[in-house]
Structures are given as C-alpha cells and as structure tokens.
Structure 1
Amino acid sequence: MDVLMPQLGETVAEGKIVKWFKQAGDVVKPGENLFEIETDKTSMEVPAIAAGTLTDIRFGVGDVAKVGAVVAVIAGVGGDVRAKSVEPKRHDTPKAPQQTPFVPAKAGTQKSQTQKQLDPRFRGDDRSERRGNEPLNSSSQSQRDFAYPDMSPWREVRTPERNFGPAKLSTGRYVTPLARRLASERGIDLGRISGSGPHGRIVAADVDKAPVPSAAAQASTSQYYLVADVEIDRLQAMQTEAKSAGAEFSIGDFVVKAWAVALQRVMPEAGADIGLITTIDGRRATTIIREAATTTLTAIAREAAGQGSASPSGATSAVAMAAASGIREFTAILTSPFVSALAVGQPRRAPIENDDGSIKFIGLMTVTLSCDHRSVDEALAADLLTTFKTLVENPVAALV
C-alpha cells in the first residue's frame, strides 16, 4: 500500500519530513510511527495503518512533499519486499494523470460506470466480504483485525512530545510549532517578537526577522539553577582533627574534591578537572585543580593557594567560593569552557527541628548549582547535587 503525505489543514499544501522512525526493509505494524512531518502550522508523527514491510522510501529527511504524494510504500504478505532507499534531497512530486479524450456516455450507463464500491473500513458499517453463510476464514479475519478507521492518514493530527515549549506564551500570544523550534535552536526570546500571523500568531517568518542573540547572551539564557542546604558538622569535625594532626585544609578545598568525586560518579565523561573560582583584590581568578577526585586534600590546598594550572583546557565544571563573609548564597554565571558551576555560600549556624519537636543548631552552607541545559539536563543536575550533598555530609565517603 502507498503511504501518503497527509493533509494537516485546509490551507496546507505540503509538508516537510524532519525524521524517519523506520528504514527501508523494516517490518512495520499498524500504529507504529513511520515518519514525522512539519509545516508552518503544526507537526505530527505519521503512523502505519497496515502491517507489512517498508519497501520504498521516496522522500528523505529535509525533503518537502505535496499533500497526497506517495512518501513510502508498505508491501504486505506476498508483496515485493525488495527495499529501496530514497536518494538524497529528492523533490519530485506526483505527476498529474493523463486525461483521456472525452467520450459521451450512453444513456443509462453513466451511473454504473462511475459508481465505486467503498472498502468496508470507510463505509461506516460492519459488512464483510463474505457471501451467504460462508465461514470467516483466518485471512479475512486478519484483514478485519487491521482495519483501524482512526489510523487513517487523514485523521486528527497528534503533536509530538518534543514541541519546544508551549503554544501559548505568558503574554497571551500563540506560536506555531515551526516558530517554536526555530526560536529554541537560535536562542531567540519569543516574548520579544510581534506576530504577523492570524490574530497576532508568531510564525516562522517572524522568527527569521528577529536578531539572533550573541554567544554570551545565549549562554546566559540557557542557564538554570538548583539550590540545596548542606549540613557540615561532620566535615568541620574532620577538619579540626586533621589540623590537630598537622594537615590543614579549608572547607573550599574539600568542596573541590567532593564535587570532583560526584562528577566522576554521575558524569564520568566530564572528567575530574575542577576550576576553582575565587576573588583576589576585587578581581576574579580561576585556578584549575587537575584530577581533583584522586588528589589529596593537602595537595588541593597547595594548588588552590596559587600553584594550580591556570589553563582551563579539559575542565568543564567549576567551584565558586563566596567573595566575602556573610554571603549566605549566590549564583555563578557560566563562562566558557564551563557547563556547570557550584557556588558555595559562607558556612553558618542555623536552627533545625528535631523529630520530637525540639530545636537544635547545626552547621550549614547553601550551594547553588548553575548548569547549561544544552549540556546537563535537570535530572542529571539533580543527581549531581544529591551525590555532592551526601559526600559532604558523610565526608569519609569522598576519601575512599
């Protein structure tokens, strides 16, 4: 059977194929997605409506096909299963059928010549092709099982999950799917665009006219933040014991190591080189602590004092320490090459409630994790911050 380019709206004449879920030669079942299409008004995933083998793909990714064009061919049982792949960037459209010369119909014969028998699936009834009391065989039963009226390519469209944000903005304006995707890819704020479509709808042409923000601006708009309070009583106790033994390190030194260990456990591909961001005489300074996950605390303390590498090459994450006392929490702005940064506020004493309702004071510090969503998604960032919190509250775990 032929797989056609569906009609996505009364004024839509063509659609662009943005993704193929199947390849030529794959076996498909009714309801399985074949390809995804996109127009200026909407986007949808087109499913198969019959079982068989996808034998011919006639339009590739990026190609535009007219409504009703044969996009692919599915061969059923006994069909030709020789797979044919589409040639890149093929834009041919169905040729108009040749018109036969007009021949006047004989009286009383035109109705019978033009009347067509509809398939049972599209008649709206349950009539089968059986005659009389003929039993329903397995072949006809199989055909009936795969007759899904709601799987027609002309049915109501289904929006893919990946839709690049809501269709209605907080300003009340509506945005087409294509415009949302283009704006997301280019880092353009839709809230600052005036729509030229019907009723002020923002369309792709409006996004094309909008200025693309600079790289620095895009990096800023792509950031998101997670905040957590971390208990440090055990860490401070270990710090005191180490000092008694002649080995001194700061809470910042331990944070660098614990953050490197968390990265190694959750995102091993990120490496264990950490950028330590501090403020010296009012100026921002960055020291790179190499292989911080396996470096001793005393060695990290020496490198943090100014002996570490200043080249950020290879480091993708950083730790930023509060510039002055009394700073409870702050946010680190990401700069290249860092895709995540942990901002550490000053330690403080804070009251918490015990299980029995009594109050006690503990040592706390607030940390804020900044991430670039293009490199670190929210779930991964939450896992990182949770792992770091566990390591700091149980400091021995970061050393073994």
Structure 2
Amino acid sequence: MDVLMPQLGETVAEGKIVKWFKQAGEAVKPGENLFEIETDKTSMEVPAIAAGTLSDIRFQVGEVAKVGAVVAVIAGAGGAASAEIRPAPTVNASTKLQSPFAPAKAGAQAEPKKELGPRFRGDERGRAQAPEQTNIGARDFAYPDMSPWREVRTPERNYGPAKLGTGTYVTPLARRLASERGIDLNRVSGSGPHGRIVAADIAAAPRAIEAAPAAAQFYLVADVEIGRLLVMRDEAKAAGVEFSIGDFAVKAWAAALRRANPQAGSDVALVLDSDGRRVTRIIRDAAGKTLTAIARQTREPDDGAPSVSAVTAVRVLAAPGIREFSSIVTAPFTSVLALGEPRRAPVEAADGGVRFVSQMTVTLSCEPRAIDDTQAAALLAVFKSLVENPVTALI
C-alpha cells in the first residue's frame, strides 16, 4: 500500500516531513502515527490506515514532498477493514466483475443508494452519533476518523494559542518559530490574509529583550588583584571610616561606566544577601558620590522594594568559599558584575618565579542586545585597572 502526502488545504501544494514515528522494517497498525508533516498553514500527524510492515521510506526528515507523492510503502496484510470501507473483491480466473455500465438483469432488484460516510462527505454529521450507530466499537483501533486528509489536532504541540488577545491569528509554523527564537508575537505585524502572522513575519521580527533566554547572555571573567584595595580599607578603618569591597566595587564600576560614556547615567544597584534574603540597594549617581556616602547608603535599613532606575548591578554573594559565579541578567538590568570571594593566589613574578597575591575573580554577565562583547571587555578592563589602583577611582 502506498502512503501518500496528504493535502492540508486547497492552496497547499507540498508538505515538509518533520518526523518519522516508525522506521523501515517496523510493523504498523491502523491508528498508529507514521509521520508528522508541516506547512505554513498547519501541521499534523499522519496515521496508518492499514496494518503491515513499513517496507520503504522515500522522503526523509527535512525533505519536502508534493501533495499526492508516495512518501512510504506499507507491505503485507492490510488488516481488518472498518465498517465504512470494504476491501475490493479479488479477481481470479473463475471470477468476473460485472461492469457498472452493464444493464441489470431482468427481474433483478435495483441496489439501494448508499450514502457516503462522514469520512468521505467532509462534514461532521457522524460525530454526534452513538457508538453503536457508527460502529466505532467494532473497530480495532482508537481513532474514530482515520482519513489521511483530515487534520489530526494536537494542541500541546501548537506552541501557544492560534488567536492572540488582540484578535490576530498566527499559523502553527509561525508560533513554533516564535517560541524557538524567543519572539513576542504581540510585537509582530502579520502580512498574511486579514493580518495573519506567517513564518516570513517571524524571520523579519526583532527579538524582544524580555523574551531572551538565559543562554543568549554572554559572560566575561577576569582575575583582579586587590592587595592595594585591602591596604586602603584597613587604613580607612583605622581612621574610623568603614567600607566593604562591594561598596568600592560599586564606586569603581560607576566610574568605569562614566569614563566609557560621560553622558550616560551612573546609577548602580548593589545586590547582596541580608538575613537570608536578597536585598537590592540603588546607588544613584554612584560615580559622583564619595565612597563614604556609598557605604552609608548600602547599610541603610531596607524599607521595601526600591524603585529600580539602574540598568546595571554589582552582585555580592554571602556564601563563603565561592571563588567565582555567574549571575543571570533579569529585567530591568542589562548587565551584572558578580564578585567572587577574595583569596590568596599564586601568580608568575617578573623574574619567572612565583609570588602570592590577594586576588578576586569577577564575572560580568551581559545582555547582548544592550551591550556587545567589545564594549563589555573595555568596561571590565577599566574596572580592573581602577580596583588594582584604587586611588584612581576616587579622583
């Protein structure tokens, strides 16, 4: 038996094979899915309508077949036929089929006119009938309608509703592409009939930042010497002024942002852990504030969720022993600078020997649609220089 490429619409001339559920040589039963096809208008799973062995697959996954083309062959027994479809009589040497155009024999009673079943009428009249009227219970497979020309609906594979809240319709292929590429369909203008969104519209649509997956972010890592910073911190503490490495990182990061773009704002969020929960402090115009003012502001009592105006943040993790970590960038931030725990680390000396230094590993997480890797690398290099020479961050 030849398995044909079905037509999913009057204007559809071909379909793409996206999956085979059976392999060549495997047995198939009526009702078992053979393959899945996809067009710009719809997608469906095509079941077998006869039992046998899938002897040949003529179109592989990813290939496009014209409507009516033989995509596979089922060999062997055809299985039990349904009550609506009767097998053709066997023709042999002792049996002759009467021509439908031959006149009826005298006295023969005319055969009553038979009405086509709902599978061949193309309507839904047979749906409401009871099982005993449709003979469904007599079938040996679960599907009530095995016509390969009828769409098999699979809502869980539709990648979202076909109709948006705005009333715009979206084709199955467009929904699938939008889901895979992280595109917000509400931001896409449809070019199809009556404004329908089609696959070509997805290819031309920009990806929304809020829909970007975490895998789309990129990360830059740098080891920063903090020996001079620790000395300055100890001297300030002896003079009655206390600040943390996180406080200084906010100042240095804001200074790096201001030097990269003097017209840009320098609001920086400090994200830290307090009493077992995450707390966000917004330091506005951190580049213009003194280190003492920043340290005082980060220690103010938490009065609830702040009004976030910063687009970048410094993240300090309270867990000890974490050498480095990467923060996931979430709205409204477009970059996060994560500070690892300070440590003593061996480095190569100028004479080729080994010396130990105080070091901290920082990881910069970036949203690529807000900042590219070249800009991010330049910012991180300036930050590293300011931390390793802390006085330069204060002038």
Query: TM class, shorter-chain normalised?
Result: 0.3 to 0.5
Q: Which structure has the bigger radius of gyration?
A: 2
**What TM-score results when the alignment is normalised by the length of structure 1?**
0.47
When the two structures are superposed, what TM-score results if normalisation uses the length of structure 2?
0.47
